[in-house]
Amino acid sequence: MLHSRVLRYIDEVARLGSIRAAGERLNVAPSAINKHVLQLEEAIGEPLFERLPRGLRLTPAGEILVAHIRRTIKEYSQVEAEIRDIKTLQSGEVIIATMNGLAGGIVPKAAASFCTRHPRLKISIRVMFVRDIVQAVIDGEADLGLAFNLPATPQLETLWKADTRLGAVVSPEHPLAGMETLPLSFCEPYPLIFAEKSMLIHGIVADAFAEAGLAVEPAFLTNSIEAMKCLAAAGDGIAFLSKFDIAEEQRNGMLTYVQIRDRTFGKNVLSLVQREKRGRALAASMFADEIARALRAIVE
């Protein structure tokens, strides 16, 4: 191990209070250990140990140095473990549980990019309802969960989170496509594309129209985010989704996101989670970082 010999010598002498005992523990001649201690004291310009009749005791300078030594040894052990883990990235599976809109865009793109660099790893993308995503991560059936509006759950640790307001999603040729922001009332004359009532997003959008005093009837209802996107791209319809739902379509020029001006419209929190206090395997940790980078790129 890098620098390990001298560091281990000093650490063992400090722990045992004896050069002789440290030599026996390390199977090193006490004279060799003593030589290194003296050389280090000379280099530092301060004694590291008080020489007592019954052994050695750290001086204040020695306490500072030993604290540094122990941090260094611990950090280097972590580095060694990470390097060993890299060697094991030859096989394995990372399972991410997510929603259908995210599974149709940003998640597979991040997975494809990740697997290009790690071709022997397998990424499994499972589409679930929010409650099932939470349970899958808690039960260890999924390594990661990515979803909107996850309930606060003590068993989950949040790795990344952002407020992602819903907006009007339209085709680039739509009359409203060129606006930077628009009031909700501007959407009323156009065919509206709503999620079905079984989906959380339905209540968010329907309540916003009701609070704005707008009595509307959607032209389309569906429980598929993909269908909502296709309907919006195909005509003058307006779907209400987040930037994350249409990241790929917006990049390809198929759809446009326009922010709704009403302050209360479309609060939507996207979270990437894992099970609380669970050490992630390196592959899962690296894929979580890949997903987080892709999400940050959309926010920024």
Angle between helices 19-26 and 4-16 (to 10 degrees): 130
CATH 1.10.10.10 range(s) for the chain read 4-87
Q: Which amino acid is at 42?
A: E
pTM tops 0.85, yes or no? no
pLDDT at residue 286, as a whole number: 87
pLDDT at residue 174, as a whole number: 97
pLDDT at residue 74, as a whole number: 78
pLDDT at residue 278, as a whole number: 56
105 token code pair: 């865009």
- Report the CATH superfamily, name and number, of domain 167-260: Periplasmic binding protein-like II (3.40.190.10)
Q: Which CATH number fits domain 4-87: 3.40.50.11540, 1.10.10.10, 3.30.160.60, 1.10.3720.10?
A: 1.10.10.10
Beta strand extents in the chain (DSSP E only): 49-52, 55-58, 93-98, 122-127, 144-148, 156-163, 167-170, 181-182, 192-195, 220-222, 238-241, 256-260, 269-275
pLDDT at residue 1, as a whole number: 47
pLDDT at residue 299, as a whole number: 75
Q: Both ends of the chain: CA-CA distance in Å?
A: 41
Give the distance between the most distant pair of CA atoms in the chain: 94
* Fold type of domain 93-163+269-299: D-Maltodextrin-Binding Protein; domain 2 (3.40.190)
The series of mean pLDDT values per 10 residues for the chain, 300 residues long, is: 74 91 90 90 91 90 91 77 61 87 87 89 91 91 92 90 90 94 94 92 91 92 94 95 90 93 80 77 86 86
CATH 3.40.190.10 range(s) for the chain read 93-163+269-299, 167-260
